[in-house]
Amino acid sequence: MKKLLLLAALLCVVVTGCCPCMKCGKAKPNSDAYVGTLRHVVLFKYKDGATKEQIKAVEDAFRALPAKIPQILDFEWGTDVSVEGLTEGYTHCFFVTFASAEDRAVYLPHPDHKAFGAVLKPILDKVLVIDYVAGR
C-alpha cells in the first residue's frame, strides 16, 4: 500500500509539476500542466465505527456542494462495486470536475467545502485525492 501511495504522489508531481499536497501553500504548479479541464478524484475509507447514518450524511453533504459552489463544473460519485478486492478499504469515490486550476483554488478553501469537511472528519479513516488534467 505504501508503494501505491508513493506512486500516486509521484504521479501527482509528474502531472501537476508541484508537490502532491496543494494545501502546503508552497506548491508552484507548472502552468503548462494546468491547461484544460481539471479532474479532482476523492476516495474515502471510513472508520470501522462509522454508522450508515453518518456515511449518508457525508454523501448528502458532498452531493450538495455543486449547488453551493459555482466553480464545480460537474460532479459524480459512487460506492465500490469492484470484484478485484484491491480497494484497501476505500468504499466511496467522488469525482469533481473544474474548468481550471483557478476554479479548484476557489473550491478548496470555500466555506461550504470546509463545512463539508467538518461533517466528514469524525468518521474519516483515510482519504486519497488525485487531481489530473483531462486529455493529457
Higher per-residue pLDDT: 70 or 18: 70
pLDDT value at 79 more than 80: yes
**pLDDT score at 136:** 55
Using a pLDDT cut of 70, give the percent of the chain over it: 74
Residue range 15-42: mean pLDDT, rounded = 58
Fold of 32-133: Alpha-Beta Plaits (3.30.70)
SS3 annotation, the chain: CHHHHHHHHHHHHHHHCCCCCHHHCCCCCCHHHHCCCEEEEEEEEECCCCCHHHHHHHHHHHHHHHHHCCCEEEEEEEECCCCCCCCCCCCEEEEEEECCHHHHHHHCCCHHHHHHHHHHHHHEEEEEEEEEECCC
pLDDT value at 38 more than 70: yes
pLDDT value at 60 more than 70: yes
pLDDT value at 66 more than 90: yes
